[in-house]
Amino acid sequence: MRSLPTRRLAAVALTAAASVVALAGPAFAHVTVNPGAAAQGGYTAVDFRVPNESDAASTVKLEVNLPLDHPLASVRTLPLPGWTATVEKSKLDKPIKVHGNDVNEAVSKITWTADAGTKIAPGQFQEFRVSLGPLPTDTDSMVFKALQTYDNGDVVRWIDESKDGQPEPAKPAPVLKLTKAEGGDGHGDSHGAAASPTVAAHGDSSDHAASSDGGGKASDSTARTLGVVGIVVGVIGTAVGVLGLRRKNAGSAS
């Protein structure tokens, strides 16, 4: 029969492991843009990944606001069965030059609305794909503020911007990091990488949509999951080691 201290130690170890998993859970629940980085000056295709956080309601609408301080001349949505995408444009205070032409307006918001019978149910997530470009060359990130609407009327506002040196906000806005293009001139390839022209020109390539992120969509979740598993295994391993040592000492004493 186990001694009381041994039982307490085992209980503490299990509680610690459960706490680690519980605390790690919210890290997977944010609305994010995937992959999280792209080259300045080029074109890319990204997914806005939307997890359903509610246990009692389903997501039926997503609104994504595009920054007009760094407007994008080409924004196209990939058709998603069961969802209707609506694109809104706004006039620009200052036209931008794209391939030698003046562009006076840009997409300012995309809204996906679920058709009848469609929803993101509890425990599920959905990805909404968009092709974007040319990406700006004078900033290292783009913030896409998003609103997630549930069928019970609740609206979650993913609009808070993270700041260096401060904890991540409770409802962070999706962010696309922009990196210097190959060659280091900061302008990149105006037609995107080798696989990108199809999406940039047509915005409806399902083959590119399936392959463009090269596994990047899962990298964030995989890394976090492995980290959590490592911590849990470490906690349990320490507890097992202590229990073994106690048993050995008890045997020696007898």
CATH code of 209's domain: 2.60.40.2230
**What does the pLDDT look like over 71-114, one tens digit per residue?**
999 999 999 999 999 999 999 988 888 888 888 999 999 999 99
| In a shared domain, residues 132 and 170 | yes
Model pLDDT, residue 97: 82
Please count the structural domains in the chain.
2
Model pLDDT, residue 127: 98
In 3-state terms, what secondary structure has residue 123? coil
Contact 120, 67 (CB under 8 A): no
| In a shared domain, residues 98 and 50 | yes
Going from the C-alpha of 254 to that of each of 104, 247, 248, 249, 250, the distances in angstroms are: 87, 11, 10, 9, 6
Beta-carbon count within 10 A of 146 CB: 25
How many helices (H) and strands (E) would you count in the chain?
4, 12
| In a shared domain, residues 135 and 151 | yes
| Residues facing residue 157 across a β-bridge | 147
Q: What value does the mean pLDDT take over residues 207-225?
A: 42
Rounded distance between C-alpha atoms, residue 16 and residue 232, angstroms: 8
For residue 27, which of 244, 205, 222 has the smallest C-alpha distance?
Answer: 222
| In a shared domain, residues 95 and 156 | yes
| In a shared domain, residues 25 and 110 | no
In which domain, by residue range, is 10 found? 1-30+214-254
Ranges of beta strands (E only) in the chain are 32-34, 37-39, 44-51, 59-65, 74-77, 83-98, 101-114, 125-133, 141-143, 145-150, 155-158, 175-179
Q: Name residues whose C-beta falls within 8 Å of residue 50's C-beta, 6 or more positions apart in sequence.
A: 31, 59, 62, 120, 125, 126, 127, 128, 148
Sole residue written with tokens 């992959």? 35
pLDDT value at 189 more than 70: no
The tokens describing 59, both together, are 């997501």
**What does the pLDDT look like over 241-252, one tens digit per residue?**
545 555 555 555
The tokens describing 158, both together, are 């993913």
Contact 118, 82 (CB under 8 A): yes
pTM surpassing 0.85?
Answer: no
Q: Find the length of the chain.
A: 254
Least confident range from 6-10, 99-103, 136-140: namely 6-10
